[in-house]
A = this chain, B = another copy of it.
């Protein structure tokens, strides 16, 4: 950030009064510009004993498999955002959403909220950000071709949880890059 989005003057990094860390503060109108973490919302869509994955058509991780997910938008709920991403990436209507997994990824200032879901009529397709979509049984999941650590971790937990039929909501921190 170099300029004030309110008045167009330059900003400088300084610690505002009553604050304890540097912020971008406008040198003219004194507006304080806060930068905060972003929320990623997504789904883990299940059809019987198979999981819906999408092959990414965009960077980063072009060509790798992932779960439908993306940035939460203003004025939507996290579940609505997760369903929206499932529609956009897999042309599937997410239903029966149940919160399943929360990740903190402080290295990139992101919080992930993932929902388990079914998809209406078991129907899916390929959205503009995907090269293809497909259903995978556990033994067919492309573990070495998954796009992100959060996807690998969540899928591993899910196939374990499925054995008991218990899906506790978990939250952990992903240290990234992996050590």
Contacts and interface: CB of A to CB of B under 8 A. Distances in A.
Interface of A: 1-11, 18, 21, 33-39, 71-80, 99, 102, 104, 106-107, 109, 111, 113, 128, 168-169, 171, 173
A76 B106 CA distance: 5
Contacts of A8: 2-3, 8-10
B4 A34 contact: no
Count identical subunits in the complex: 2
B111 A39 contact: yes
A76 B104 CA distance: 8
14 contacts: A2-B6, A4-B5, A5-B33, A36-B73, A37-B72, A37-B74, A75-B106, A77-B104, A77-B106, A78-B104, A99-B169, A102-B102, A111-B113, A169-B171
A5 B24 CA distance: 10
Given A2-B6, A36-B38, A37-B72, 15 more contacts: A2-B8, A8-B9, A36-B39, A36-B72, A36-B73, A39-B111, A75-B107, A77-B173, A78-B102, A79-B173, A80-B106, A99-B171, A102-B113, A111-B113, A169-B171
Nearest to A169: B169
A74 B109 contact: yes
Contacts of A104: 77-79
Contacts of A37: 39, 72-74
Contacts of A76: 106
